[in-house]
Amino acid sequence: MKNKKIFYFIAIFIAIIAVSILLPNKANAATIKEDGEYDVIISSIYEYIYTNGKSTYVVSFDFDEGEEEVLVEDLVKDLDVFAYGRKVLGWKKSFDNSEKPTNITKLSKSDFNYCESGGVKSDKGFLLNPILEEYGPVNSGTSYLVINAFMGSINGKDIEVIKAPTSSFATVDLTKYVPTSTYSEYSFEGWSIDGKSYVKSISAEDFEKVPHDIIEVVGIWKKNTFDSNSSLNFRLDANGGTIDGETSKLFNFFVPRDSKDPYYLLAHNPKREGYKFTGWNTKADGTGSDVTTLIWGEVRDAESAGLDVDENKFLKLYATWEKTAETVTPAPTPEENKGTELSTKVENSEVEVKVELEKAVEEGSKLQIVKVTEEKIEEVKKVEKDLKTVFDINVVSNSGNIIKIEDNKMQIRILLEEDLRGYKNYQVVYIKDGKIVEEMPTKIEGNYIVFETTHLSEYGIIANNNEKVEETQKPQTDNKETQGVANKIQNPQTGDNVLVFGIIFVVAVLGLTISTKYNSNKIK
């Protein structure tokens, strides 16, 4: 009987656990569910906050049967509210911006009406925001890096927060964080702290430069289209330069969530030869205010704000420039016109190559030598069995692009490797599309093979110890005298052979006759 009671107790305990897991998340007098009839909307429009990583977060629920009120603490108890280190002291109506807002502890059905915020609309909603402490953390021993996607999302969230002890904050590589665009017409350009320049990483040293424990990097986006129907635009005047190929260009103003969000100008950088762009200014002569971000109110009515406007009353900003140091390229002297000499070593070998070009090439150019792999010259070696090696010779610019060299007479010297030295005969050949197309004038100087050409490409080295190069290996020629000699060497001498065969036949007949006669006499 005692065992039976224990069994019943265990069964009831398991049933309680199962029910608590399977039943929907219960708040006091309400059930939290995704498709709930009532919505509590927590938005960053009125405060710089993020709930569960999102600028606007919705808690949906249903009042339990017969219930008219719900406790706020039960609705928000499982939320992760990030307010840049500021502690949540309570909850208020979103529009209550008084010095001491009323702390709301419960909500009744009558509090829920139509509302919208951050792109979320609800027929039975309530805008709720946290009451925050006045100041964020300073010298708290904890560092916060906020990665704000702004017009996009990271892992489905608007922000990613990296929190670590200040003493052991490891460098964060921002290039690993590439946000997904919320708006297809915008492209991500990079991360910035101040809207003036891009940043690729954040380290512990960066926190030493700020007066608090938080650094926020914001995603910079560029709109790749222009909506001519938009009435909220601004104009950027390149002021002597060009922007996207134009001297002055109109852009749409757009911010993702609310009018308090800034529009970053960092993605709009103009160009001007001989000048460095220093920023955008409200005056053409640079005496106005420097501008890195735009606010909705200024763009909406720039003229009333005392700012310059274009002919359509759109806000107009001007590029400011700083003249770079003038660099005068002196006229080339006769000595410089003699040409260019380049040299390099083939990677992972002792081969050294020197090229002397008759005409000069781009300053800073380098010689690039690549030894062609055996697999790539296999077909060529079937035709020319004495082909030992092939080099792909090119000249590249500072940017790494191959410079096309044609009609530029040059001498090329290649240091022969140990196993290529000591042959009687050498020949350099020009290889194109896997075939030998030209023999180059070739000579040996010490351990160097030297040849001349007017273009760069693939060149192969043929080496053998033949007394004379086989005629079958030489290109065909139209010289009849030479061809005749070749035929005498290669073809059998048919006239001489007939005479020899005739003499042999006569001797054979005489021998047979004598032998027959001798045997006949012997029998007698």
What is the three-state SS of 327-344? CCCCCCCCCHHHCEEEEE
98, 132, 166 - which closes a domain: 132
Q: 75: closest CA among 29, 19, 133, 20?
A: 29
For residues 219 and 238, state if they share a domain: no
Residue 188, domain member (yes or no): yes
Phi–psi pair at 183, nearest 5 degrees: -120, 120
End-to-end Cα distance, the chain: 146
160, 192, 223 - which closes a domain: 223
Number of domains in the chain: 4
Residue 494, domain member (yes or no): no
Residue 329, domain member (yes or no): no
For residues 161 and 46, state if they share a domain: no
In order along its 524 residues, the chain shows pLDDT tens digits of 555 555 555 555 555 555 444 444 555 688 999 999 999 999 887 678 999 999 899 999 999 999 999 999 999 999 999 998 889 999 999 988 888 999 999 999 999 999 998 889 999 999 999 999 987 778 888 999 999 998 889 989 999 999 999 889 999 999 999 999 888 889 999 999 999 999 999 999 999 888 889 999 999 999 889 999 998 999 999 999 999 999 999 999 988 766 778 999 999 999 998 899 999 999 999 999 999 999 888 899 898 888 999 999 999 999 999 988 654 444 444 444 456 788 887 766 778 889 988 888 887 788 888 888 888 888 888 889 899 999 888 888 776 677 888 888 889 999 988 888 889 899 999 998 888 989 999 999 888 999 999 888 899 999 998 874 444 344 444 443 333 323 333 334 444 444 444 544 544 444 544 444 444 444 33
CA distances for 192 relative to 50, 70, 211, 216, 243, angstroms: 20, 43, 18, 8, 21
Q: 376: closest CA among 392, 361, 394, 397?
A: 392
Residue 295, domain member (yes or no): yes
The pTM for the full model equals 0.55
For residues 38 and 117, state if they share a domain: yes
Residue 316, domain member (yes or no): yes
CATH of the domain at 433: 2.60.40
Residue 478, domain member (yes or no): no
Domain region containing 82: 26-132
